[in-house]
Copies of this chain bind each other. A is one copy, B any other.
């Protein structure tokens, strides 16, 4: 097959006729497939049903230190949960607060607290004329939604396979006091599946922010979410690196078990310096008496330790790896011959990032929708939902069954080709 760029007007017209016929067939199938969100599938959820037996009515619901998990108290989480989640996050238990069921909620609260009360004695952000955040793009829509909600101006910084463009990050952070934070998904990034290089992490730890209350919002959502046993990304631990660099308070690190056990019924955590923790605890003590200790204990009893958790993650990988491979196989099969599109090939996480020819993403997603395939909205991976190139589409392979996923991808690539060919034909015609 010829690449589209090399096709004549007639060849493109013929291609479009043939693609339209395929597309029509798909439409007639009246499908309803969803690749929009990074949701685990049923088989993944089934892996954690043992969690429901980890505690029963005969169980002793007390901690090793005797604390009765059923009663009030323990603001920052039970010790054994800190040990388990500490191992997962590669941080010391004493640097950790265990929260409720949602790390997104922890991030929201972290921004909200900075907005209402300021960070470590600095002016509350609500009292400032202008607060800005750096947003590596494409990135995670729910991060951007939080900062947008607080009226924080978001500045795009391009992502590379090594992480954010650090020249740009350093330049902006060191020169503008109104820049107070940066959103990062440092490992198996959302949506690319990139992991920050050693150099990137080291440069993050050595930032010289103009703002004393600048913080890195380090959302390590996919820290142990590998797809392969042997081909695993590695990330330098940021808290330790910040400490080494003399910037111990520079980072808030977030994680949860949402994509390990049950989304919405897991436990979330924050790891940061002792100074930051004191600052946070002064607020937290007004917000709650404590989070769900029974659920913390349930997770500890279910996993035992980090080895139990890692063994569990291998089972997840076995389920979702074929799905990632199917997406990549179909993209390669259908699009490489046409020379259309670019996409990432991650070793972990929940997404594949697809870049369509400029100006095509919205039309592709609309076309797919009309054939029964729901993708993440085009633009969603950018602040204010504005992809300046109208190019990026996030593919979430985990939720559909493998046959459904293959069908959805068959449709997707037809939509990509049809949209690209139509655009190229129009450009020739001009």
Contact = CB atoms under 8 A, between A and B. Distances in A.
Given A68-B42, A264-B289, A116 B150 contact: yes
Contacts of A45: 68, 70-71
A17 interface: no
B295 A265 contact: yes
Given A53-B56, A70-B48, A149 B40 contact: no
Contact of A292 (B39, B146, B264): B264
Interface residues of A, number: 58
Contacts of A292: 100-101, 264-265, 292, 295
A335 interface: no
A235 interface: no
A73 interface: yes
Given A56-B56, A59-B52, A68-B45, A108 B40 contact: no
Contacts of A287: 104-105, 108-109, 146
As for how many copies of this chain the complex holds, the number is: 2
A126 interface: yes
Q: Which of A57, A74, A265 has the most CB of B within 10 A?
A: A265
A293 interface: yes
Given A56-B56, A101-B100, A39 B288 contact: no
A116 B151 CA distance: 10
Given A100-B292, A105-B287, A105-B288, 4 more contacts: A69-B262, A101-B292, A145-B286, A264-B294
